Amino acid sequence: MNLELFIVHAFPSGIQYEDAVQLCLRLFCTTEGLPSFLQEQCTKDNLATIFSNLADSGVVIGFPHTAPLYGANHHNVNEKGHWVEIIASIFKMAKNEIDPGKGAELAKILLASAHRNNENRDAQRSA
């Protein structure tokens, strides 16, 4: 399963834009705790594609009021360039906009979903 599907399953009601930003930044900065097959998917290019797809499909919800903070206001939220700018912002900004607490909280939700999916897969193989 790919990371995009894990995010969709982890947030079945969608994920607010600000939370999506924090999750994207968290996944770019650290993949600690993620299964290795998900870690490999956490490149800048791939994360930008994944989050633009999530926005385009309506999984990322809410208006991107804070996009200018990340320098991402020159692209629509469903464009890959928007999320590239989000990720690049951590290298450009004097003030870091990463919220480690929020990122950790969102990563826990994602990890719980990943573990449930692994358990379901293992149970299906055993049956």
The tens digit of pLDDT for each residue in 85-100 reads 888 887 776 555 667 7
Per-residue pLDDT tens for 35-75?
Answer: 888 899 999 999 999 999 999 999 999 877 776 767 677 77
Q: What is the pTM of this model?
A: 0.78
> Is a pLDDT exceeding 90 seen at residue 125?
no
What's residue 49's pLDDT? 97
Query: Which DSSP state fits 74?
Result: T
Q: Which of 96, 120, 100 is nearest to 108 (CA)?
A: 100
Task: Please state, for a pLDDT cut of 70, what percent of the chain lies above it.
Answer: 82
Q: What is the pLDDT of residue 119?
A: 62
Which is nearest to 45 in space by CA: 108, 3, 98? 3
CA–CA separation, 73 vs 86, rounded Å?
Answer: 10
- Per the structure block, which two tokens stand in for 42? 């956490």
Average pLDDT of 108-117?
Answer: 76
DSSP state, 16? E
Tokens of 108: 């826990």
The rounded mean pLDDT for the chain is 83
Can you spell out the DSSP letters for 30-70?
--TTS-HHHHTT-SHHHHHHHHHHHHHTT-EES--TTGGGG
124 pLDDT tier (thresholds 50, 70, 90): low
